[in-house]
Amino acid sequence: MKKQVQLYLLATMALGLLVLWGCPKKAQMTTSQETQTETVTAPSTPSAADDYDRKSDAAAAGRGEGSGERALAAGGGLQPVYFDYDRSSIRADARATMKAIAGWLKAHPAEKIRIEGNCDERGTKEYNVALGQRRAATAKKYLTDLGIASGRMSLLSYGKERPVCTAGSEECWQKNRRADFAVVSP
């Protein structure tokens, strides 16, 4: 009887170990640009001098994006795409913007971009970083499906740390639920 119990315990432990071994592992993601890996980080809260305005290269430089990175001006660059509350799927009204971004990338084959996922202020910091990452990943997959090489795109999630509007209304929150596209020099 004792041997049967020991055999049962051993079999149960072995089965548990096999189940755990088969579970997917969390991807190890770093913030190093040299390794060109995807990033899941939220930077520290921006200061007043860190005003996030994607409409000018000067604002991008003021954010510390110098050294080879630049945001394109709204008039002729890569427009952000917007998401519904608590969603990471590309909306129907964003598909034309995504196609325009793919067209721009096809016309500029040497350029690489960083897709920056953003969220509104609701939710925890951790949740919003994860949601911003999913939004950036969805945008990357959409561009990959349109024929853009995956290696030309990196991801970064700011979560709720880079709002463009702080009024606390639905109209304002909509502006913050977005993926931005920044050109990163090769």
Q: Could you give the CA distance from residue 67 to residue 65 in angstroms, rounded to a whole number?
A: 6
Q: Could you give the CA distance from residue 148 to residue 103 in angstroms, rounded to a whole number?
A: 9
pLDDT exceeds cutoff 80 at 46: no
Q: How confident is the model at residue 6 (pLDDT cuts 50, 70, 90)?
A: confident
Q: In terms of CATH architecture, what is 26-184?
A: 2-Layer Sandwich (3.30)
pLDDT exceeds cutoff 90 at 124: yes
What percentage of the chain exceeds 70 in pLDDT?
A: 63
Question: What's the pTM?
Answer: 0.62
Q: Could you give the CA distance from residue 149 to residue 102 in angstroms, rounded to a whole number?
A: 10
Mean pLDDT of 150-164: 96
Distances from the Cα of 50 to the Cαs of 58, 65, 95, 131, 184, in angstroms?
11, 11, 30, 23, 19
Residues contacting 159, CB < 8 A, separation 6+: 42, 117, 118, 119, 125, 128, 129, 131, 132
Most confident of the following: 12-16, 25-29, 42-46 = 12-16
* 162, 46 contact by CB (below 8 A): yes
Top pLDDT among 51 and 121 is at: 121
Q: Which of 93, 177, 168 is nearest to 135 (CA)?
A: 177
Q: Which of 56, 88, 61 is nearest to 155 (CA)?
A: 88
Block residue for tokens 């050294």: 67
* 113, 165 contact by CB (below 8 A): no
What is the length of the chain? 186
Q: How confident is the model at residue 134 (pLDDT cuts 50, 70, 90)?
A: very high
Q: How confident is the model at residue 121 (pLDDT cuts 50, 70, 90)?
A: very high
Mean pLDDT of 39-56: 36
The tens digit of pLDDT for each residue in 55-90 reads 333 333 333 344 344 444 333 469 999 999 999 999
**Encoded tokens for 26:** 């969390």
Q: How confident is the model at residue 11 (pLDDT cuts 50, 70, 90)?
A: confident
Q: Is 40 left (phi over 0), alpha (psi -120 to 50) or beta?
A: beta
pLDDT exceeds cutoff 80 at 133: yes
* 120, 160 contact by CB (below 8 A): yes
Q: How confident is the model at residue 4 (pLDDT cuts 50, 70, 90)?
A: confident
- Mean pLDDT, all residues of the chain: 75
